[in-house]
Amino acid sequence: MHSWTGCEAICQPEVALAPFTWYKLGGPAEWFAAPRNEAELSLVLQRCAENGLPWRILGGGANLLVRDQGVRGVVIRLDGETFCGAGNNGSGRRWALQPNADGRSVTLGGGADLTRLTKHAAMNGWGGFERLAGIPGTVGGAVTMNAGGRWGCIGDLVRSVALVDPDGRQRTVSAAELGFEYRRTRVGERIVSAAVLEYTPDEPRRTWQRYLEVWNAKYASQPPVSERSAGCIFKNPPGQSAGALIDRAGLKGARRGGAEVSHRHANFIVAQRDATAADVLALIDAVRETVARECGVVLELEIVVW
């Protein structure tokens, strides 16, 4: 028997995870917790420890594949205005994306939507955010994995990050302490509850133009967001493109069940209507084996598999 004293209202058993992911695949979470502020988050983590339940944090589900059998333990998803609104800049105003008093930074909750943020930034002359155009997810998820692309990554913009330790303690760390590298940080087992991102004030006309350029370049070379995927499946090996290697190995259009290597960009595996998570995993294995054999490179997963 599990005890959720004090957080019964935000913890539920057996919640389907597929709707929370871009793949729309996979089974349920044994428990699902949706804390709305740091105090609730700390309490959930405390109860997880007391119940001996492992926990994981769900971001925007844009870089995630959940196995068909689902996951044991607790899936935590930051919820509510404090986490998902634009953030609290100290003025007490939330949801509206207000810049901080310095006029060059903005404070965002870990659950804030990245797509909404980058669009708002581009429309308001917050220069630098254009590099993240077309990258879905939450601020917390993007910071944790240093999401990015050819034009740059979120680590380029981070000033500081508020983290919650597994034991519920809160701490703010600088970007330097987090050691942003290619799709890698030292966030580790901690939860990003908020982040301060910096921008370079510019003319809205110019930031919007650059945003459109990045968006259009991605649109032209990647499957549309209407196709179910988790973005790039593999990390780029140093100095090489995983997509180009998979393409060179002749794998565009390769299938396992309802999973298919995208014809548009070979580092995307798209899920057809009848796909299962097992299909995607089988195709990942097949791609990795073929590329290792044909190109002599062992590809490393970029997506997270639960």
Least CB distance to ligand EPU at residue 113 (A):
17
- Residue among 215, 222, 209, 230 nearest 284 (CA): 230
Q: Which of 67, 183, 255, 264 is catalytic?
A: 183
Q: How many C-beta neighbours within 10 Å does residue 261 have?
A: 26
247 binds ligand EPU (CB under 6 A): yes
Residue 284 burial class via C-beta count within 10 angstroms: exposed 0-12, middle 13-18, buried 19 and up? buried
In this structure, are residues 240 and 297 in contact, taking their beta carbons and an 8 Å threshold? yes
Q: Does residue 266 touch ligand EPU according to CB under 6 A?
A: yes
Q: Distance (Å, rounded) from C-alpha 133 to C-alpha 129?
A: 7
Stretch that binds ligand EPU, among 40-48, 163-171, 201-209, 263-271 (CB under 6 A): 263-271
Q: Any idea how long the chain is?
A: 306
| Least CB distance to ligand EPU at residue 276 (A) | 21
d(CA 159, CA 174): 6
Residue 90: burial class (beta carbons within 10 Å; 0-12, 13-18, 19+): exposed
Residues in Cβ contact with 1 at an 8 Å cutoff, skipping those fewer than 6 apart: none
Distances (CA, A) of 141 to 65, 91, 146, 303: 14, 25, 8, 12
- CB 25, CB 275: distance < 8 Å: yes
Tokens (6 digits) for 98: 């207000």
Contact 191, 163 (CB under 8 A): yes
Smaller CB distance to ligand EPU: residue 110 or 231?
231
Looking at beta carbons only, is 151 or 282 nearer to ligand EPU?
Answer: 151
- The residue (of 159 and 218) whose beta carbon lies closer to ligand EPU is 218
Contact range with ligand EPU by CB under 6 A, out of 31-39, 95-103, 146-154, 202-210: 146-154
Q: Which of 265, 284, 287, 299 binds ligand EPU (CB under 6 A)?
A: 265
241 touching ligand EPU, by CB under 6 A: yes
Task: Tell me, yes or no, if 153 is annotated catalytic.
Answer: no
**Where in 211-240 is the site for ligand EPU (CB under 6 A)?**
218, 221, 231-232, 235-236
Please name which of 36, 111, 112, 34 lies closest in space to residue 74, comparing C-alpha atoms: 34
Identify whether 295 is a catalytic site residue.
no
User: Which of 21, 82, 185, 267 touches ligand EPU (CB under 6 A)?
Assistant: 267
Pairing of strands 28-33, 64-65: unpaired
Side-chain-facing half-sphere of 136: CA atoms under 13 Å: 18
* C-beta closer to ligand EPU: residue 199 or 234: 234
Q: Toward ligand EPU, which CB reaches closer, 41 or 133?
A: 133
Q: Is 302 a catalytic residue?
A: yes
> Binders of ligand EPU among 80-109, rule CB under 6 A?
none
Closer by beta carbon to ligand EPU, 78 or else 261: 261
Of 67-75, 79-87, 111-119, 145-153, the window that binds ligand EPU (rule: CB under 6 A) is 145-153
String marking each residue 32-71 x if it binds ligand EPU according to CB under 6 A: ----------------------------------------
CB of 301 to ligand EPU, least distance (A): 10
Residues tagged active-site: 183, 232, 302
Q: Given the rule CB under 6 A, which residues bind ligand EPU?
A: 149-151, 218, 221, 231-232, 235-236, 241-244, 247, 265-267, 302
